[in-house]
């Protein structure tokens, strides 16, 4: 089980990343950050929360890189 | 990015002649504030306490409920509240505790204003182009509010202040909500 604080730390990191991209003049997508904050704010525990939280915590851009 | 310098916002002196359990301060700008509750002896204590007891303290501060005084060479001289807040209280008659507060009501009002604007633009078919910009601004403010909330939860008040000032300078979304800083355009895409 992932502690809620770890998810909050991840959200802070993602927000910093978003600001850095904005300063460069880019238009970054912020869907993941919205999802993460929405999940943290959920008042109830959902099924398969371990899986969902691990997925959120380990999300980073490189998962979209396809192999050879 | 430098955060704003520390300024003394307001001072409330109360002689506790009535039982009050809360005080109200006027705050007109979002940000990090600290509330210091300082307890000083009153004039009755100063005039009636024994010399042995008073000599226990290196420096004596007292209040009459309106002004603050400091004993220098056996006489009371008026001093500033700032001095009391900034000095080391060891060996003095000062007792104090501090509460950290992060105020975001201006940003919350701004968020509500954007939500209303989105609702209005849905009804107004002539403003379809404005809709996406409003959605973007609302999302950005919502994310900022939540991130500040997390940082405050971690007691990282100065980092939360940095985020807030960064948002105020670069975003330019909430100019009308108690935010006096100019929009200096930090390369933001919108």
Q: Does some domain include residue B130?
A: yes
- Whether residues B37 and B123 fall in one domain: no
Q: Do B143 and A30 touch (CB under 8 A)?
A: yes
Quick one: tokens of A60? 């980073």
Is the complex ipTM higher than 0.90? no
Taking residues B124-149, what's their average pLDDT?
86
Nearest to B189 among A11, A26, A34 (CB): A26
Residues 120-149 of B with CB under 8 A from A: 139-140, 142-144, 146-147
**Minimum distance, in Å, between the CA of residue A39 and any CA atom of chain B:** 12
- A41-60, pLDDT tens digit by residue? 988 888 888 888 888 888 87
Better-predicted residue by pLDDT, A13 or A63: A13
Look at B189 and A22 and tell me if their CB atoms are within 8 Å. Answer: yes
Residues B141 and B66 in one domain: no
Nearest CA distance, A8 vs chain B (angstrom): 6
Predicted confidence (pLDDT) at residue A67 exceeds the cutoff of 60? no
Same domain? B95 vs B40: yes
| Residue ranges per structural domain of chain A | 4-64
Task: Return the structure tokens found at B54.
Answer: 């008073």
> Is the CB of residue B94 less than 8 Å from the CB of residue B84?
yes
What are the tokens at B167?
Answer: 């948002």
Q: Give the structural domain span for B138.
A: 105-170
Q: Per the structure block, which two tokens stand in for B138?
A: 């609302």
B94 and B8 co-located in one domain: yes
Q: Is the pLDDT of residue B35 over 70?
A: yes
Q: Do A18 and B143 touch (CB under 8 A)?
A: yes
Distance between CA atoms of residues A48 and A54, nearest Å: 10
B185 touches A: beta carbon within 8 Å? no
Is the per-residue pLDDT at B24 higher than 50?
A: yes
């Amino acid at each position: 089980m992932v502690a809620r604080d770890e998810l909050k730390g991840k959200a802070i990191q993602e927000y910093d990343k978003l600001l850095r991209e904005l300063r460069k003049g880019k238009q970054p997508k912020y869907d993941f950050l919205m999802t993460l904050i929405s999940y943290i704010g959920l008042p109830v525990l959902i099924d398969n929360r371990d899986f969902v939280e691990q997925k959120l915590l380990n999300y980073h851009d490189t998962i979209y890189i396809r192999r050879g | 990015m430098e955060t704003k310098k520390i300024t003394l916002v307001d001072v409330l002196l109360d002689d506790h002649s009535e039982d009050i359990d809360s005080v109200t301060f006027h705050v007109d700008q979002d940000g990090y504030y600290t509330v210091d509750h300082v307890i000083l002896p009153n004039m009755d204590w100063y005039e009636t306490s024994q010399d042995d007891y008073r000599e226990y303290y290196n420096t004596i501060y007292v209040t009459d409920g309106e002004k603050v005084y400091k004993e220098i060479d056996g006489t009371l001289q008026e001093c500033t509240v700032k001095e009391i807040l900034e000095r080391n209280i060891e060996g003095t008659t000062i007792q104090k505790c501090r509460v950290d507060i992060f105020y975001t009501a201006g940003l919350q009002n701004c968020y509500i204003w954007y939500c209303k604007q989105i609702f209005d633009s849905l009804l107004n078919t002539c403003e379809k182009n404005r809709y996406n910009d409003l959605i973007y601004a609302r999302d950005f403010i919502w994310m900022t509010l939540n991130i500040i909330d997390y940082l405050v939860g971690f007691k990282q008040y100065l980092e939360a202040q940095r985020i807030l000032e960064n948002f105020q300078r670069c975003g330019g979304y909430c100019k009308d909500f108690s935010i006096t800083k100019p929009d200096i355009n930090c390369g933001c895409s919108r």
